[in-house]
Structure 1
Amino acid sequence: MKVRPVLSDPEKQRGRSAAVAIAALVIAAGIPLWWKTTETYRAWLPAARIGELEALQLELRVEVEVVFARGTLSPEQQKKVPASRMREQQQQVDDKTGLKFTYETRFRTATVMEEDALNQPTAAEADHALHTLTETSCGSVVIYIIPEASALLPQDMRVYVGRSRTALLRSQVASVVGAGLPEVLAALDPQMEQVLQTMSFNHQDVTAALTDRLRPGLSTRDSLADSMRAFKSSPGYEITFSLLNPDPKHHQLHWDVEAALDAYIYPLLHKMAPVANFSVDSQILYYAVLGVNPRYDASASAYTLSADSLAHVINPVEARLGSNAASSNPVLNFLLYVPDSLHSPLIIRNDQKQEVASNAFHSPRWGGIMVYNVDGAYGNDTQFPVDIAIDMSRVMGVFLSQLRLMLGFQQTGAPPGFVLEAAGREGVAEWELDRLLWSRSVENVATASASITSLAQLLDQIANIVINDNIAQQVASAVTALQAAVAELEAGNLALALEHSREAISASERAFFDPSLLHLLYFPDDQKFAIYIPLFLPMCVPILLSLLKIFREVQQHRAEKRAKRD
């Protein structure tokens, strides 16, 4: 028979005090310390400012200056021009985009130097002279109203749009006798609206830029085709020019690609510097063949590639172009293919079975391919390999037009009576670049706001994802840049708006694709308890049993006291 040791009252008291002290230490310090050290770190995010992005309302403001040349206004009308106030015309777009457009128009008469420029023999010379006189801001438009009898424009030409941000508009109503200035301006509104739709952004540009955000069924066919053809906005692009020589035993090709890039490509990329960063390289690939076998057409005495087979041409060639894994930027590929002697000449035919004049085609969001035939290089006494000097002016002319399409320069259809001056050596007119900047700014704002709101919703739904300080900083920077871009768009500062929108989209992408969001740096609460309960339970059971025993003894002691009193 076991005999339990009898504990004295002081010893029992010390035991009770130790159990209570350990329990108090575990509850007051242990549990909070464990909870704090195992919780997920989540830096503060500007939730209120992010919530405002969902209801973001964009407003685009364009500064328009209308200059009346001598002979377009009567003396009475001319006196009222300096006193005429700035007029704003605000137009709400349809439900497709919800954007607001504001044209801020100012009116004035031409200066003496501008009158001298308008006296040039041709409209092109007048446009160049006006460009040197006036400093136009990015996104603005200057319209010069010239008399109906002016010799600058032929009689069948109503509007001349130059390479800069200026246009010459032949006035047919401004010189009406007895008409007041308000009537003159009202009569000019339809003509100026056509000029603005040509030189500045229009609804189709904005719809194409916001195609990914439109509800299904709202995007038009033209805007969808334009958006699918061009690359989406990106901080940078990689451009690769490749010369494909499938028959090096018979062809020894020579191409002065560096000089061609300096003459045709680099001027355009220099103008595109505010939009993105570009890197250009070139290469020569030997024994690179197309993925399809061309068919011989006896009527044309040439081999042909139909439009149906063009989709199968790219895949075998693409495997030899090299990997772009070193960069996350989109790659634009431009391939120059010289057919071998057994399949030459090689022509491309469109869907209507007609020969393509450029003998080239492009693939949306990929690049373009041009087939370069060697005419008259073969004869009965031909000695191989044949030295072939490629005409780079013809090649780069085709690649330049394809590059414009890939970068988002939409083909502008001139209204009747309009003449659009050729872009020239730089490959793009200033007003064409402005149209692209408008659409890119809107696209960047829409993309960045969608990325930030999606990231905020994800972090709100999954409470255990780690939000480190770097992500919080990138999110705050993106929200600040977005608000600045929207403010600059409303103020009409297109260059600053584009700069802030690029900062916003870069910061939002860095936050959205941060590697820390994908690592297993967190785990749900049920896993937390499943891991720690086996560790803490053996320690907690004696403490709980001691507390339970103390509670029973206290209850028994109170019952004995009540019994003695009774």
Structure 2
Amino acid sequence: MKQSVPGAAGPRCASPPSPCCWGCRCGGGRPRRTGPRCPTAGIAALGRLPLQLSVPISVVFAPGSVPADLPRQLPYRDVREEPVPVGSRSDVAARYEELYRGTTAREVAALGAATAREADAALHALQDASPGSLTVYVVPESSPLLPQGTDVYVGKHRSALLRAGQGLAALRARLQQLTWVMSLPATSIAAALADRVPDGQLGPDARRHLKSSLGYEITFSLLNPDPKSHDVDWDIEGAVGRYVQPVLDKLSVVANFSVDSQILYYAVLGVTPRFDKESSSFLLSAHSLPHVINPVEARLGSSAASLYPVLNFLLYVPERSHSPLYIQDKDGAPVPTNAFHSPRWGGIMIYNVEAPASPQASLPLHVDVDMVRVMEVFLAQLRLLFGISREELPPEFQVESPGNEGLADWELDRLLWAHTVENIATVATTLTSLAQLLDQISNIVIKDDVASEVYHAVASVQDAMAELAEGRLRSAFQASKEAVTSSERAFFDPSSPPPPLLPRRPEVCHLHPALPAHGRSHPSLPGQDPAGRPGSARRSPPK
């Protein structure tokens, strides 16, 4: 059923006799349906975005670690609230619901392990930690689990070991520091609310993280501009299975991922490198890097037809006439990884080929790419693109490597926090824009299914906010995803007013250091035959 009504609802329902375009019983006109009340009041409330983020924390004292000035006998509960500094236009508060208790007999046995890593694994097997929660085990000052100089051990799940300090005040200071590291850093929340925070209040990386999406497409491309000189062989199929797929499996709760790969021949960079006589090499300066991507992007051919954001990871083997090729940072020093990344786009790595020992060597030279070295860089770039970067920690903190999964459970939780908050903000912006567009049009047609999507989006956002306040991160994230889906269906429905076209702001390339590889895994994936005629590209189907 369609409803054609002169006039449209703005932030509030129009007072009688002006009609309401949603066809509800709000008093704005003739009743058109007996559905929910008018959503415009709910949309206006979403724009104010009052958020409370609750984090359940268990503080567990091992024998001999209980502070003498503890205010009550164990077990007891306490609540700590503090604002999250994200800007004047958003109201976000953190509520830490802390349970203080002693260890169980099985936890005591687990804490008797030889190393902190073994203790973390044993404690994880005893826990039923929900996403967004933390468990902090306080151990005696003399505990051998924490080596000299280390007061805090952050595991790869959702727990940490904390050396008992001098009294309750020192313990609480450490707990506050630990919770900001493992759960709700202001930088992640500010980045999630980047569109609502004034530019002057944002850090340099706040607008560089990937926007939240229901899916992402990852494309690995090998660029061989000189196939007459280089016959390059890369085992992208095996590398995706061993190094990338475990990370994507971990991220599957955040979004859906598809992976493909291609080889592009005669694809050159859009910048002519400078020859350096002293080092007998070619150099790409930092200021030239932003000009590298556009000419290469025209050859990739994936972004235009994609429904989701595309992450590009390019391995470039320089032509023989421009080898070796090195990237310089802004100070003129060589970048150790010989790679750079562009926020919300992807990354490029330069892979130099050793010159043949003899000038008479036959061409093309066969090149086997070291995929371990390449994937170390690409996975580091993937973390940077998603904003999964380690905070600068005090020297007394020790953080366990996440292994072949690429990110720890608590890092995944931080990503869920940020994406949930961003989804809520996105829905509020989308629905507010829709209401404003309707307010500018004198005659509008609102279909029942469009109105239903708006009702569902508002209800889902309210559910997400309620779940966040209760500390149920996973269900809050799922509700926020549903809200995004419904709001976009309503906004982009053919019967809705067309959104204005806005120019795309270009992104700037940023250099980054390499991060170490985190373990190995050996599943196999279907892939592609890397062979192809010069100038062609072969792609594997999304997985």
TM-score interval, smaller chain: 0.7 to 0.9
Matches within 5 A, 1:355-504: 355-504=334-483
Report how many residues are paired.
468
In structure 2, how many angstroms separate the alpha carbons of the residues matched to 1:404 and 1:172? 34
Gaps of 5+ in 1: 1-35, 174-183, 520-566
- Corresponding residue for residue 13 of structure 1: none
Q: Can you list the C-alpha shifts for 1:209-260, whole angstroms capped at 9, x where unaligned? A: 111012453x23x2xx323221111111111100000111111111110111
Task: Report the CA distance between 1:415 and its aligned residue.
Answer: 2.0
2:495 aligned counterpart, secondary structure = helix
1:87 pairs with one of 65, 78, 93: 78
Check 1:337–1:216 CA distance in 2 against 1; reply closer, same or farther (3 A cut): closer
1:333 pairs with one of 282, 295, 312: 312
Letter in 1 for 2:429: A
Contact 2:4/2:446 (<8 A) preserved = no
Letter in 2 for 1:352: D
- Corresponding residue for residue 16 of structure 2: none
1:71 pairs with one of 64, 69, 88: 64
Task: Report the CA distance between 1:270 and its aligned residue.
Answer: 1.1
1:199 pairs with one of 178, 182, 207: 182
Contact 2:218/2:257 (<8 A) preserved = yes
Residue 308 (1) aligns with residue 272 (2)? no
Contact 2:187/2:206 (<8 A) preserved = no
Check 1:37–1:370 CA distance in 2 against 1; reply closer, same or farther (3 A cut): closer
Q: Can you list the C-alpha shifts for 1:11-43, whole angstroms capped at 9, x where unaligned? A: xxxxxxxxxxxxxxxxxxxxxxxxx99979854
- Corresponding residue for residue 159 of structure 2: 166
RMSD (Å) for aligned C-alpha atoms: 2.1
In structure 1, how many angstroms separate the alpha carbons of the residues matched to 2:5 and 2:420? 43
Contact 1:160/1:169 (<8 A) preserved = yes
Residue 104 (1) aligns with residue 82 (2)? no
Task: Report the CA distance between 1:93 and its aligned residue.
Answer: 3.7
* Greater alpha carbon shift after TM alignment, 409-418 vs 365-374: 409-418
Residue 113 (1) aligns with residue 96 (2)? no
In structure 2, how many angstroms separate the alpha carbons of the residues matched to 1:466 and 1:240? 41
Matches within 5 A, 1:203-222: 203-217=186-200, 219-220=201-202, 222=203
In structure 1, how many angstroms separate the alpha carbons of the residues matched to 2:71 and 2:441? 67
Contact 1:414/1:420 (<8 A) preserved = no
Check 1:167–1:489 CA distance in 2 against 1; reply closer, same or farther (3 A cut): same
Check 1:330–1:77 CA distance in 2 against 1; reply closer, same or farther (3 A cut): closer
Letter in 2 for 1:92: P
Task: Report the CA distance between 1:511 and its aligned residue.
Answer: 1.0
1:152 aligned counterpart, secondary structure = coil
In structure 2, how many angstroms separate the alpha carbons of the residues matched to 1:74 and 1:236? 48
Contact 1:242/1:284 (<8 A) preserved = yes
- Corresponding residue for residue 157 of structure 1: 150
Residue 228 (1) aligns with residue 211 (2)? no
Contact 1:338/1:371 (<8 A) preserved = yes
In structure 2, how many angstroms separate the alpha carbons of the residues matched to 1:490 and 1:42? 30
In structure 2, how many angstroms separate the alpha carbons of the residues matched to 1:454 and 1:373? 49
In structure 1, how many angstroms separate the alpha carbons of the residues matched to 2:301 and 2:404? 31
In structure 2, how many angstroms separate the alpha carbons of the residues matched to 1:266 and 1:296? 39
Check 1:317–1:293 CA distance in 2 against 1; reply closer, same or farther (3 A cut): same
Check 1:89–1:76 CA distance in 2 against 1; reply closer, same or farther (3 A cut): closer
In structure 2, how many angstroms separate the alpha carbons of the residues matched to 1:91 and 1:79? 23
Task: Report the CA distance between 1:408 and its aligned residue.
Answer: 2.2
Task: Report the CA distance between 1:58 and its aligned residue.
Answer: 0.6
Task: Report the CA distance between 1:463 and its aligned residue.
Answer: 3.5
Query: Which one has the largest radius of gyration?
Result: 1
Task: Report the CA distance between 1:70 and its aligned residue.
Answer: 1.6
Letter in 1 for 2:150: M
Letter in 1 for 2:380: S
Contact 1:230/1:406 (<8 A) preserved = yes
In structure 2, how many angstroms separate the alpha carbons of the residues matched to 1:439 and 1:380? 55
1:64 aligned counterpart, secondary structure = strand
Letter in 2 for 1:473: S
In structure 1, how many angstroms separate the alpha carbons of the residues matched to 2:142 and 2:379? 38
Contact 1:43/1:468 (<8 A) preserved = no
Q: Can you list the C-alpha shifts for 1:507-538, whole angstroms capped at 9, x where unaligned? A: 1111111121248xxxxxxxxxxxxxxxxxxx
Task: Report the CA distance between 1:377 and its aligned residue.
Answer: 4.0
Higher relative contact order (CA 8 A, sep 6+): 2
Task: Report the CA distance between 1:77 and its aligned residue.
Answer: 6.8
In structure 2, how many angstroms separate the alpha carbons of the residues matched to 1:186 and 1:238? 48
Contact 2:467/2:476 (<8 A) preserved = yes
* Greater alpha carbon shift after TM alignment, 205-214 vs 330-339: 205-214
Gaps of 5+ in 2: 8-20, 25-37, 499-543
2:336 aligned counterpart, secondary structure = coil
Contact 1:78/1:109 (<8 A) preserved = no
Contact 1:233/1:444 (<8 A) preserved = yes
TM-score (normalised: structure 1)? 0.79
- Corresponding residue for residue 263 of structure 2: 284
Contact 1:228/1:365 (<8 A) preserved = no
Task: Report the CA distance between 1:378 and its aligned residue.
Answer: 4.9
In structure 1, how many angstroms separate the alpha carbons of the residues matched to 2:54 and 2:208? 27
Task: Report the CA distance between 1:172 and its aligned residue.
Answer: 2.2
* Greater alpha carbon shift after TM alignment, 137-146 vs 111-120: 111-120
Task: Report the CA distance between 1:498 and its aligned residue.
Answer: 0.5
